[in-house]
Structure 1
Amino acid sequence: MPLPQDMLNQNEDLVLDIHPHWWYFAESVGVLIPAVVAEIYIASKIDGGFWNFLPKVSAGVFALAALWVGWKYVLWRTTHFAVTSYRVIYQKGFFSKQGIEIPLERVNNVNFNQTIIERILGAGDLLIESGGQDGQQRFSDIQRPQIVKKMLLEQVQLRMDGRTGSRTNDVATQLEKLEGLLHRGAITRDEYEREKRKILDA
């Protein structure tokens, strides 16, 4: 289930859209596997007598574990970590939605943490420091966090270069118009110099 296209603004490109790493299922699957083993063992060994209630108990535990895995899968499918040409988007939830958006121009630093197991599996946490109110956001179970970090920083740099280039072009246009006014005699030399300083200092 990809990120809905209606979440993107005009001229906004989707660079990365990933679900959590499969390590996200570790706890629920870690409960389901013993529940399956117990269910099979008890069903084959218990046949009446005092322990007759155990098959029902094990079946109940197995059902709950299976439901937990199923629910985690639904949440996994509806959880997105996305990087666009303008921002970072994190969205999760099925019935109720929760989301975080960080404009690229506010991203100050990006780090990642991995335990030994996560490093082997290619999972980890991504930490984004931004100029917003929250300061730092942690995103868990990110696939290949070192690669995601690299891609994110590349987009931040492209965004900064684009904004700098736009401002440079805008300043050049304003100065060109101002110089035209001077040549036509619409403003004096002093007015020209004063307005020029305002444009360059802006």
Structure 2
Amino acid sequence: MAYPERLLTDDETIVVQFRPHWRMLLIPVLWIVAGIVAVWLVYRVPPDDGTIDLITSGVVFIAIIPAAVIPLVAWWFTGYILTSERLITRDGILSRSGIEIPLENINNVMFSQTLFERVLKSGDLLVESAGESGQSRFSDIPNPEEFQSLLYKTRELRTGGTTGKSPAAPIGSPDVDSMDKLERLTQLHRDGIISDEEFADKRQQFLDEL
């Protein structure tokens, strides 16, 4: 689900936002398929007893709720958001929780992938930051290596190429100009002047030139 723009600061823009990798849907979908097959077999295999068939179908349906439905809904309500100022995660269905890390507090970003995750282009990110959060793990990130690079580039724009808190760059410096260009591009997309595809292409070109 999209991050509400009303929660952004005046000059803050969303660089990218996404849900966990689609591989998190594999097991829930398999459970749903298995449930459908089980119900089909119940009604196809004799003896044909309506009461037993109905009870068996109910048991299968109840089993699918925690095994498939809840994980699917949890995936839908989990989001990772990178803005021009913060790295944010939001999760939870009824009760919500999240982490917000100011970009200037990020000291190091590491990613890890198993062989299976490399094939599917997913992995975990471990973000080390100053303050109370210390280390934060972001699980099942799509293309974690690319996101790590994007996170570093966005942090450099925010901090002027230094880690930790630093004085703001003077107006007219390359870092401020770059951030202004990114914000103007985001505003054009938000106003509907450029399409989603044009926005993605121009933003990637802009980041590649940094």
List gaps (5 residues or longer) in structure 1.
Answer: 170-202
Counterpart for residue 40 of structure 1: 40
Which range moves more in the overlay, 98-107 or 70-79?
70-79
Residue deviations 1:95-124 (CA, integer Å, cap 9, x gap): 211010001111111111112221111211
CA distance in 2, matches of 1:149, 1:161: 18
Counterpart for residue 130 of structure 1: 129
Letter in 1 for 2:22: W
CA shift, 1:37, in A, is 1.8
Which residues of 2 match residues 109-124 of structure 1 at below 5 A?
A: 109-124=108-123
**Residues 123, 144 of structure 2: 8 Å contact kept:** yes
**Residues 43, 55 of structure 1: 8 Å contact kept:** no
List gaps (5 residues or longer) in structure 2.
Answer: 172-210
TM-score normalised to structure 2 length: 0.70
CA shift, 1:3, in A, is 0.7
CA shift, 1:70, in A, is 3.3
Residue deviations 1:176-201 (CA, integer Å, cap 9, x gap): xxxxxxxxxxxxxxxxxxxxxxxxxx
Counterpart for residue 30 of structure 1: 30
Q: Secondary structure at the match of 1:166?
A: coil
Letter in 2 for 1:166: A
CA shift, 1:141, in A, is 1.4
Residue deviations 1:120-176 (CA, integer Å, cap 9, x gap): 11211111111122311111111111111111011111111187573567xxxxxxx
**Residues 42, 55 of structure 1: 8 Å contact kept:** no
Letter in 1 for 2:45: K
CA distance in 2, matches of 1:166, 1:137: 26
Letter in 1 for 2:42: I
Which residues of 2 match residues 127-166 of structure 1 at below 5 A?
A: 127-161=126-160, 166=168
Counterpart for residue 74 of structure 2: 75
**Residues 159, 168 of structure 2: 8 Å contact kept:** no
Counterpart for residue 9 of structure 1: 9
**Residues 79, 90 of structure 2: 8 Å contact kept:** yes
CA distance in 2, matches of 1:54, 1:161: 67
Q: Secondary structure at the match of 1:90?
A: strand
Residue deviations 1:18-62 (CA, integer Å, cap 9, x gap): 01111122332232222222221222113247xx73663244214
Q: Does 1:89 align with 2:88?
A: yes
Inter-CA distance 150–103: structure 2 relative to 1 (3 Å threshold):
same
Counterpart for residue 184 of structure 1: none
Inter-CA distance 142–94: structure 2 relative to 1 (3 Å threshold):
same
CA shift, 1:67, in A, is 6.6
Percent identical: 35
Whose helix proportion is higher, 1 or 2?
1
**Residues 28, 69 of structure 2: 8 Å contact kept:** no
TM-score normalised to structure 1 length: 0.72
